[in-house]
Amino acid sequence: MATTSRTRKRPESQQATGARRTRPKGRSGTDADTGAELLGHYRQMLLVRRFEERTAQAYTEAKIGGYCHLNLGEEATVVGLMAAVTERDYLFTNYRDHGYALVRGMDPGRVMAELYGRSDGVSRGWGGSMHLFDTEVRQLGGYGIVGGQLPLAAGAGLAISYRGGDEVVLCQMGDGTTNIGAFHESLNLAALWDLPVVFVVVNNQLGMGTTVEMASAEPELSKRAGAYRMESARVDGNDVLAVREAATKAVERARTEQKPYLLETVSGRLRGHSVVDPATYRDPAEVEEVRSQDPVTALHDHLVGTEVADADTLAELDAEIGGIVKAAVEFAENSPSPDPTSLFDHTYATPVPNDSRRLPADPLFPLDPTAGA
């Protein structure tokens, strides 16, 4: 990291294994090992679900400002991806970043504090919902400019490769992002220079209101990899194990062979593009279809159906997660707002003479009361 990063162990529950595993048969895998893993994944998916629902509520209460995009419907994808990387790997995402932050191991209270614009927020109240950043968990930013994170991720891969490291960069983006120039430039660079970057297209089938078919001449987005001789895969983004397995393969390949990879996960968006979007443009049948594939409900029913856990146990888990989210909100509520005197604290990392510190009504030069008299 360019700045000194404090090191902190992530909780045991969030330590992902880079180990190879045999593929459980989708949701029908029943061995005890998979059952316990699935339960762990369910817990994290539920954390994302309840956190996002609470976030939407806080937004309507005007506790949160600006743009606010939720991972509702993408929980299996988020958790599956995060299970495939180790704590030494780096993550870049777009603005739809709350779930990644939580599963990656940022403190839920500090994430919520960032949404609230408070001084304990992960980005000290400077970034907000779209710009969660924490050097400790190596999540190097949510980015609000579509495609902006892609060249950065390639560059992080370059730094790793330059130093002969074995970390991997995971770069998340949306389906709509595959049409911006930075997508092409970054994938080409990563392939040309053998950079350890896994590009993940989270295909939730919508830009804002724009469908994949409306925007992409080749709607099977993973096929874009062919232009860069890059390996790729397309998986069911509602299946946490399928995502985990595909991402693990991609990450391992990047780590051991220093080759980039393009992974596409296909899921759906349960709400509007952002919390203020009523999504009236959507076909009710399509929305119903997405709802019927809700990954959290599906995994709940699977866990009960395969007797990994009974409904009561899962309800208790839900209550426990509810407590975590409640505590996060309380933490955010109690965190102080940033002090306006800190406004000029981080314009520059290296202090420089003559940097402007004037407030809107300040004069450029001290007013001279005798002048003009």
Partner 1 sequence: MAHISYRQALHDTLRSELQRDENVLLMGEEIGRFEGSYKITAGMLDEFGPKRVRDTPIAEEGFTGAAVGAAMLGLRPVVEIMTINFSLLALDQIMNHAAKIYGMFGGQCSVPMVIRTPGGGGQQLAATHSQNVELFYAFTPGLKVVAPSSPADAKALLLASIRDDDPVLFLENLALYNTKGEVPDTDEPGEIGRAAVTRTGSDITLVGYSRMAHVALQVAERLAADEGIEAEVVDLRSLRPLDRQTVVDSVKKTNCAVVLEDDWLTYGIGAELAASISDGAFDWLDAPVRRVAMAEVPLPYAKPLESAALPSADDVVTVIHQTLDAVGRRSDRVGAR
Ligand X SMILES: Cc1ncc(C[n+]2csc(CCOP(=O)(O)OP(=O)(O)O)c2C)c(N)n1
Positions in the binding site for Mg ion (CB under 5 A): 174-175, 204, 206
Cβ-proximal residues to 28 (8 Å cutoff; 6+ apart), any chain: 306
| Positions that interact with ligand X (CB under 6 A) | 69, 94, 96, 144-146, 173-177, 204, 206-208, 273
Q: Does 11 bind partner 1 (CB under 8 A)?
A: no
Burial of 355 per CB tally in 10 Å (0-12, 13-18, 19+): exposed
Question: Which of partner 1, Mg ion, ligand X, none does 36 bind, CB closer than 5 to 8 A by kind?
Answer: none
Helix (H, G, I), strand (E, B) or coil at 144: coil
- Please name the helix (run of DSSP H) or strand (run of DSSP E) that holds residue 181, with its range, or none: helix 181-192
Question: Which of Mg ion, ligand X, partner 1, none does 140 bind, CB closer than 5 to 8 A by kind?
Answer: partner 1
Is 167 or 264 the residue whose CB approaches Mg ion more closely?
264
Question: Which of Mg ion, ligand X, partner 1, none does 327 bind, CB closer than 5 to 8 A by kind?
Answer: none
Which DSSP string corresponds to 91-134? Answer: EEEES--HHHHHHHT--HHHHHHHHTT-TTSTTTTSS-TT---B
Q: Does 306 bind partner 1 (CB under 8 A)?
A: no
**Residue listed under structure tokens 């003559």:** 354
Q: Does 151 bind partner 1 (CB under 8 A)?
A: yes
Q: 19-38 as b/e, with b when 16 or more CB fall inside 10 Å?
A: eeeeebeebebeeeebbebb
Q: Does 354 bind partner 1 (CB under 8 A)?
A: yes
Q: How many residues bind partner 1 (CB under 8 A)?
A: 57
Is 20 or 229 the residue whose CB approaches partner 1 more closely?
229
Please state, in angstroms and rounded to a whole number, the distance separating the CA atoms of residues 142 and 49. 19
Is 319 or 371 the residue whose CB approaches partner 1 more closely?
371
Strands 197-203 and 261-266: parallel
* Residues at the site binding partner 1, with contacts judged by CB under 8 A: 1-3, 90, 92, 121-127, 131, 133-135, 140-141, 143, 145, 148, 150-160, 162, 181-182, 185-186, 188-189, 192, 345-350, 352-356, 363-365, 368, 371-372
